[in-house]
Amino acid sequence: MIRDNLEQVRQKIKDACDRSGRDAGEVTLISVSKTKPLSMLEEAYEAGARDFGENKVQELLEKIPRLPEDVRWHMIGHLQRNKVKYIVGKVSLIHSVDSLRLAEEISREAVKQDTSVDILLEVNVAQEESKFGIALEETADLALSVSKLPGIHVCGLMTIAPYVENAEDNRQYFRKLKQLSVDIEQKNIDNVSMNVLSMGMTGDYSVAVEEGATCVRVGTGIFGERDYVKGVVSE
Ligand SMILES: *Cc1c(COP(=O)(O)O)cnc(C)c1O
């Protein structure tokens, strides 16, 4: 089942690339495995998945040592400053940096571990009150501030679009995030690149790819519905 789902998602990404004149090689599919058991991650790995996304530090730390070392782990959930020390050096990319204080903590820990951490700035493009992320207008300033910190590298932007019935409703937000990344790129800030655009989930990744996503984060479409009711992992 997971193998078929992955195949289908990859095909849809390719179709979206064809429609928009992009190369499918530009798009990384992140399998969002939060709340899912190891056996399912292993099945995805067997089917070729190498990028996995998790939103809880505890769960990440449990899963990382149990999968092969060539897996790239993505922290996609809200990150508390006191948990930064546990994941620096273990994840490939932190998608969810939404404040200077969090970036400062990541920088401090990176320097301490003599390493460098790649991050994205999370932008609340749709201005939803329930969501984390910085305002569109504040993003360039934050990029500039973070660029001056050692051991941390801004690689691009991330957004979580609203939950909608019709994916087309989110096209406007994906377009805005892409435009913002172009605007920031033109500022030529030292130590800031805008190569990564992390946007699109199960309901809307095709539209996100058409609008320039380089990372899509797909959970339900690969692993099926999440069951939070059992309380194994709380949201
Ligand atoms: C859970 C989650 C996803 C995946 O959501 P699906 O709708 O299941 O594809 C993507 N991004 C973030 C930040 C998430 O927390």
Q: Is the CB of 103 under 6 A from ligand 1?
A: no
Plot region of 71 (φ>0 → left; ψ -120 to 50 → alpha; else → beta): beta
> What is the Cα–Cα distance from 102 to 28, expressed in whole angstroms?
25
Decide: helix, strand or coil at residue 181. Answer: helix
pLDDT of residue 227: 81
Q: Find out whether the beta carbon of 160 lies less than 6 Å from any atom of ligand 1.
A: yes
- Name which residue sits closest to atom 10 of ligand 1, judged by CA: 217
Residue 160 alpha carbon, nearest atom of ligand 1? 13
CA atoms within 13 A on the CB side of 37: 3
Tell me if 76 CB under 6 Å of ligand 1.
yes
Ligand 1 pocket: which of 2, 5, 33, 55 to mutate (most atoms within 8 A of CB): 55
* pLDDT at residue 235 in the model: 39
Does residue 212 come out as left (phi exceeding 0), alpha (psi in the -120 to 50 range) or beta?
left
The DSSP symbol for 219 reads S
Q: By the 8 A CB rule, do 214 and 230 touch? A: no
235 residues of the chain, pLDDT tens digit each:
999 999 999 999 999 999 999 999 999 999 999 999 999 999 999 999 999 999 999 999 999 999 999 999 999 999 999 999 999 999 999 999 999 999 999 999 999 999 999 999 999 999 999 899 999 999 999 999 999 999 999 999 999 999 999 999 999 999 999 999 999 999 999 999 999 999 999 999 999 999 999 999 999 999 999 987 654 444 3
CA-32 nearest atom, ligand 1 = 4
Distance of CA 109 to the CA centre of its chain: 21
Which residue, by CA, sits nearest to atom 5 of ligand 1? 219
Distance CA 33, CA 36 (A): 5
Give the separation between CA 40 and CA 46, rounded to whole angstroms. 10
Q: Which two tokens stand for residue 50?
A: 């190498």
Q: Are 10 and 30 in contact (CB under 8 A)?
A: no
Q: Is 120 in the pocket of ligand 1 (CB under 6 A)?
A: no
- What would the two tokens of residue 88 be? 């620096």
Decide whether any atom of ligand 1 lies within 6 Å of the 218 Cβ.
Answer: yes
CATH class of 2-223: alpha beta
Neighbouring-strand partners of residue 28: 215
> What phi, psi does 122 have (nearest 5°)?
-90, 125
* Predicted local distance difference test score (pLDDT) of residue 228: 73
Tell me which of 51, 217, 218, 235 to substitute to probe ligand 1's pocket, judged by most ligand atoms within 8 Å of the beta carbon.
217
pLDDT of residue 144: 98
> What 8-state DSSP symbol labels residue 71?
P
Quick one: which H or E segment has residue 156? strand 152-158
Name the residue with the closest Cα to ligand 1, atom 4.
Answer: 219
